[in-house]
Structure 1
Amino acid sequence: MSNINWLQLQSRSQIEEIIEHSKSVPCLIFKHSTRCSISSLAQNRLGKGWALGDNEILPYHLDLITNRDLSNAVAEQFGIRHESPQVLLIKDGRCVYDASHLQISARSIADQVGA
């Protein structure tokens, strides 16, 4: 479907890993609902426009239906109100960019990363 090498975000301990990783490489969290057509559209649009390499960003995929509590923990940790679908770009341990619904685009993420 896309050339994004998603890492599955499935545990709270991974939030700390993301914070640590983001000190050397930006991390993206994509909150996706498998029951939402807009979420599927956003994921497809990301995949079609994706041009970032594995060494430029670590992309994490969070399934909201199976991991709602984890999604809430992400929102609380980074101080960003939960939306679905949603992307959060984490750099130096904090969220520096977020977008939701049809504002999600590979180009805007690449611009934020500096690619």
Structure 2
Amino acid sequence: MSVDQLHSLEELDRFVAEPGKRLLFKHSTICPISTTAHEEFLSFLGEQEVPAAVILVREDRPVSNAVAERFEIKHESPQIFLLEDGQVKWHTSHWKITKAAIAEAVQG
């Protein structure tokens, strides 16, 4: 399982432009809720082959802000997006980020 960390708008553009389904996770390294959600995200990826990337919201704030602006979805942290062919097909945040919820969204 490989999870890219996006540090620049160019990396975000490349990730979003790729075809097919992909997961994008916005993570705050100082938030316990985000830590739990990140563990759920990694647990899902341990069993599924879905391209995935993480944005650290404090360290790479411009990239995090660009996601909110580009997709017109209010920033939250933690937050996960299922992208398909460059469009958001599903998103959720906080305690709703579970392995089961991610699996259901990806399979749907």
CA–CA separation in structure 1 for the residues paired with 2:72 and 2:99: 23
Residue 49 of structure 1: how far off its partner (Å): 4.1
**What's the counterpart of residue 83 of structure 1?**
76
Deviates more, 1:42-51 or 1:9-18: 42-51
Amino acid at match of 2:32: S
Which runs of 5 or more residues in structure 1 are unaligned?
A: none
Ranges of 4+ aligned residues in structure 1 off by more than 3 Å: none
CA RMSD of aligned residues (A): 1.6
CA–CA separation in structure 1 for the residues paired with 2:72 and 2:81: 11
**What's the counterpart of residue 108 of structure 1?**
101
Instruction: Trace 1:50-89 onto structure 2 (pairs within 5 A).
Output: 50=45, 51-53=47-49, 57-89=50-82
- For the structure 1 residues 46 and 19, does the alpha-carbon distance in structure 2 shift closer, same or farther, using more than 3 Å as the test? closer
**What's the counterpart of residue 19 of structure 1?**
16
TM-score of the superposition, structure 1-length normalised? 0.83
CA shift digits 1:45-103 (9 cap, x unpaired) = 222344211xxx21101111111111000111112110000001111211111010010
CA–CA separation in structure 2 for the residues paired with 1:19 and 1:47: 20
Amino acid at match of 1:102: W
Residue 18 of structure 1: how far off its partner (Å): 2.0
Aligned pair count reads: 107
Structure with greater proportional helix content: 2
Any idea what SS the aligned residue of 1:43 has? helix
Which runs of 5 or more residues in structure 2 are unaligned?
A: none
CA–CA separation in structure 1 for the residues paired with 2:43 and 2:37: 10
